[in-house]
Amino acid sequence: MVVLGVDTSGSGASLAVAVGGEIRGCLRPAGANPSRALLAGISRLLADAGVVAAQLDGLAVAVGPGSFTGLRIGLATVKGLAWAWNKPVAAVSTLEALARAVVDRGALLVPVLDARRGQVYTARFTALAGAVTRCDADRAVDPAEAFAVAGAGAVFCGDGVRRYRALAQQLVAADAVLVEEDLDLAAQVALAGTALLGRGEGGDAVHLNAQYVRQSDAQVHVARPVR
């Protein structure tokens, strides 16, 4: 199975191609125009990996939570390509992709993404035999709530760990692991997408939606009455 993975949920985009369940190539597109850079990066990645669009069994994309603008750009791009190429799309939670990236580091995985406004996005996953299982839904919470997780050897990862490192060190258990390095989410999105598409769980791009978890700043401002 050949799957293109796209992640635009963070501060920068990343791409990956999985062939037969193995990552064949990764790329971080750069450019002043995010949409054009993403399309150019996909073309370059596929060419470098020796893959043409017709060989793809589907696309996989991180649907959030994450950057509202980034998610919109990523989903719009993937929807357009899936329609043009007539391919199914697998939707992957950004937090699940983070958990998959540290699946070999502990049994309880707690991705933490900086959500701004003094909050983080988080969820809990368990790891067993290289697979992750979700324990609860993605949510936006106070950082203290995310780090005050009961469980031996919990592994915390994501940019929220760097953003709230001092707080995390105060609250996590002594045997907890704080993963501060950047993780290649596109690779994990591609691999998760491979599993989903392999089980026939890919869908029509028309029904693909971002999982924002909470309202955007613009929505909050509109909802507030003008005084």
Q: Sign (positive/negative) of CA torsion 29, 211, 191, 141?
A: positive
The tens digit of pLDDT for each residue in 65-108 reads 999 999 999 999 999 999 999 999 999 999 999 999 999 999 99
* DSSP reduced 3-state for 2: strand
Burial class (CB in 10 A: 0-12, 13-18, 19+), 82: buried
Which domains does the chain show, CATH number per domain?
Answer: 2-93+184-222 (3.30.420.40), 103-179 (3.30.420.40)
Cα–Cα distance measured from residue 146 to residue 180, given in angstroms and rounded to the nearest whole number: 15
Structure confidence at residue 223 as a pLDDT band (50, 70, 90): very low
For 170, the token pair is 């105060």
The tens digit of pLDDT for each residue in 115-150 reads 999 999 999 999 999 899 999 999 999 999 999 987
Omega before residue 65 within 30° of 0, cis: yes
